[in-house]
């Protein structure tokens, strides 16, 4: 039920996913009447679509923890229960991120040894995709949380991508290890004790150039970077559109213009990348952008399926166990 154009885009995305992969079942959790109304537009509905009714949901403006206690029949709570009981292998959600994070942590608990969950957001680079972790699950971050983020994202990337030795960079204000705030300096020291492929500090300019595969930062920083980049990209794209119109008032280049702009939007469209896994909770949870369209949801379901198939949760448990022994971070 969550997301700017829900449940329409969610239902549509799930139907596409169910149609393209027979071996999965998509369980739509939400207001049954509304979900059925959307499904009616998408006939024939594939057989591997199911509905589980949840009468209420948590709105974008609501404070997660308070509301979660009151609305026990909210769609996010019901969906988390399905994962907890083994009736579902993964959860995909596009609603209030705070509610998804809190609901998942309360319902599924953390993986043994993990101190804080982190959202690993896929970001487009010149060479492919990198992951920035954390982008907002935890705003009161300690050095050992950052090291665990690096380890969890490495495990995830090794399993679901072709990158077998992901390069982990620590976001700071300068390349040298002694640059940064206290949080980052201590995390740098801890990272050096691990067997991760830690390449040292990276600066903001390096987030999108593809030199590293994983950018580790605290949730506050990751969140404002993700949103500011999105805002800046929108500025550039809308300026581009304006400039083309100014320079070509007669519309002579219209066909060319629309082809180029369409392709550019496509390359920088978050929906290509699907959702961001919430790593560290004891179960698969994929968080989608509030603006998710059907395509983004379909791609997020693919990410969820990969996480379940590759047993990401189990591998993270092992990795954290090894990390604890190596660094005595705990």
Q: Select the residue interacting with a second copy from 223, 292, 302, 306 (CB under 8 A).
A: 223
From 47-55, 80-88, 260-268, 272-280, span contacting a second copy (CB under 8 A): 260-268
The residue (of 25 and 125) whose beta carbon lies closer to a second copy is 125
Percent composition of the chain: helix, strand, coil (DSSP 3-state, to 5): 50, 15, 35
Residue 178 makes contact with a second copy by CB under 8 A = yes
DSSP-assigned beta bridge partners for residue 248: none
Q: At what angle do helices 219-247 and 254-267 cross, to 10 degrees?
A: 170
CA distance 178 to 234: 35
102 touches 124 (CB < 8 A): no
- Judged by CB, which is closer to a second copy: 109, or 228? 228
- Measured from the CB atom, the residue of 55 and 251 that comes closer to a second copy is 251
**Single residue of 7, 107, 113, 124 touching a second copy by CB under 8 A:** 124
Q: For residues 129-168, which are near a second copy according to CB under 8 A? A: 136, 139-140
* CA 207 to mean position of chain CA atoms: 16
Binds a second copy by CB under 8 A, chosen from 109, 239, 318, 330: 239
- The values of phi and psi at residue 124, to 5°, are -75, 130
Question: Is-contact 171 204, C-beta < 8 A?
Answer: yes
Among 41, 165, 195, 236, binds a second copy (CB under 8 A): 236
106 touching a second copy, by CB under 8 A: no
**Binding status of residue 227 toward a second copy by CB under 8 A:** yes
Closest CA to 147 of 180, 184, 110, 112: 184
Q: Which of 237, 290, 309, 310 binds a second copy (CB under 8 A)?
A: 237
Go through the chain and tell me how many residues it has.
330
- Please give the backbone phi and psi of residue 4, each rounded to the nearest 5 degrees, phi first: -65, -30
User: Applying CB under 8 A, which of residues 23, 44, 205, 250 lies at the interface with a second copy?
Assistant: 205
Neighbours of 81 (CB within 10 A): 18
Min separation Cβ 61 and a second copy, Å: 8
- Which run of H or E residues covers position 52? strand 49-53
Binding segment for a second copy among 38-46, 188-196, 217-225, 318-326 (CB under 8 A)? 217-225
Contact set with a second copy (CB under 8 A): 61, 63, 98, 124-126, 136, 139-140, 171-174, 176, 178, 180-182, 184, 203-209, 217, 219-221, 223-240, 243-244, 247-248, 253, 256, 259-260, 263-264, 267-268
């Amino acid at each position: 039920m969550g997301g700017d154009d829900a449940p329409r885009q969610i239902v549509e995305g799930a139907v596409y996913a169910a149609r393209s992969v027979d071996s999965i079942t998509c369980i739509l959790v939400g207001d049954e009447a509304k979900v059925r109304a959307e499904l009616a537009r998408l006939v024939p509905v594939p057989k591997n679509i199911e509905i589980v009714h949840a009468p209420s949901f948590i709105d974008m403006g609501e404070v997660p923890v308070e509301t979660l206690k009151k609305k026990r029949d909210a769609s996010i709570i019901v969906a988390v229960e399905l994962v907890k009981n083994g009736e579902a292998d993964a959860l995909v959600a596009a609603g209030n991120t705070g509610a998804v994070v809190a609901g998942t942590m309360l319902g599924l608990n953390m993986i043994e040894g993990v101190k804080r969950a982190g959202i690993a957001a896929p970001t487009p680079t010149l060479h492919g995709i990198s992951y920035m972790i954390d982008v907002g699950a935890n705003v009161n971050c300690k050095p050992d949380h950052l090291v665990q983020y690096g380890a969890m994202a490495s495990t995830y990337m090794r399993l679901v991508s072709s990158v077998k030795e992901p390069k982990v960079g620590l976001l700071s204000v300068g390349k040298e290890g002694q640059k940064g705030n206290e949080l980052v300096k201590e995390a740098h020291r801890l990272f050096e004790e691990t067997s991760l492929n830690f390449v040292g500090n990276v600066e903001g300019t390096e987030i999108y150039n593809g030199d590293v595969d994983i950018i580790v930062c605290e949730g506050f920083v990751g969140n404002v970077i993700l949103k500011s980049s999105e805002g800046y990209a929108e500025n550039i794209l809308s300026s581009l559109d304006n400039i083309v119109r100014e320079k070509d008032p007669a519309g002579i280049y219209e066909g060319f213009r629309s082809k180029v702009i369409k392709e550019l939007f496509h390359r920088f469209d978050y929906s290509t990348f699907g959702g961001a896994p919430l790593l560290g909770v004891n179960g698969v949870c994929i968080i989608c952008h509030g603006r998710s369209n059907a395509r983004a949801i379909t791609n997020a379901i693919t990410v969820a399926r990969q996480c379940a198939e590759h047993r990401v949760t189990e591998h993270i448990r092992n990795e954290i166990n090894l990390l604890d022994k190596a660094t005595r971070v705990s």
